[in-house]
Homo-oligomer: A and B are copies of this chain.
């Protein structure tokens, strides 16, 4: 079922506007190309409206935010909401600094996001901080495990419901939920944590998946998570003696480049809760 989502990306070549950090931006661009999308980067407030207007999706990642690019995020986001562009928020480092937390919360409060993707601690920060999510029980552990899975699933569904966004929490076990359903995904490998920006890459790719599958945002977001995780598994199987995280990074992007519907359908490991 999820495999169809990547075919739709490849057939429609969604153009994605990324306002993203300068650390992992090149990998985000190459992953978008690998999965069948097309990337544009622009963060200047005077430029972003025009760029968002020609794109199907807007990926906002606050990883190396500054005052100018924060302004660009709001300007682009408002335009995107106005014209119906798909929007995704990646709240990198929310909780680690006041500026990041406040920016992420304000983005959530002032803009409508189709998808929010982060790790558990970032998403908890949003759930606690945002006015729109008051009442969400964020008292879940700092890592999703089999032991706390029930509570985590409850948390992510509740946050999705209150925020009105599909929410993806990625980690050893990934959760992708709307208010009713939650994909619990077990693709991926722990070594992916030794590569900078696999989360950022996933956010870029997820935006393209949602643009190409607007009628099934939840499935599209889950398909992107499975694609990334499965690519990590395939790439790992190709590692040779002496290879390390730099080669692994390349092989993961390569595996996304070669991913097709059948491989994804066979390799995706998830259950619906």
Contact = CB atoms under 8 A, between A and B. Distances in A.
Given A46-B99, A242-B258, A251-B246, A33 B195 contact: yes
A44 B99 contact: yes
Interface stretch (A47-55, A166-174, A220-228): A47-55
Number of copies: 3
Interface in A96-150: 96-100
Given A34-B245, A254-B246, A47 B24 contact: no
A41 interface: yes
Nearest to A20: B23
Contacts of A21: 41
Contacts of A216: none
B257 A30 contact: no
A54 B254 CA distance: 35
B50 A97 contact: yes
A243 interface: yes
Name, among A34, A41, A252, the residue most crowded by chain B CB atoms within 10 Å (CB to CB). Answer: A41
Interface string A1-43: 0000000000000000000011111110110011000011111
Interface string A196-230: 11000000000000000000000000000000000
Q: For chain A, give the interface size range.
A: 35 or more
A208 to B, nearest CB: 14
B50 A98 contact: yes
Contacts of A40: 93, 96
B246 A30 contact: yes
A23 B68 CA distance: 17
A30 B46 CA distance: 31
Interface of A: 21-27, 29-30, 33-34, 39-44, 46-47, 50-51, 54, 63-68, 93, 96-100, 194-197, 234, 238, 242-247, 249-258
Given A22-B41, A40-B93, A243-B254, 20 more contacts: A23-B39, A30-B195, A30-B245, A30-B249, A34-B245, A34-B246, A40-B96, A41-B63, A41-B64, A46-B67, A50-B96, A50-B97, A50-B98, A50-B100, A51-B97, A66-B68, A242-B254, A242-B255, A244-B256, A246-B254
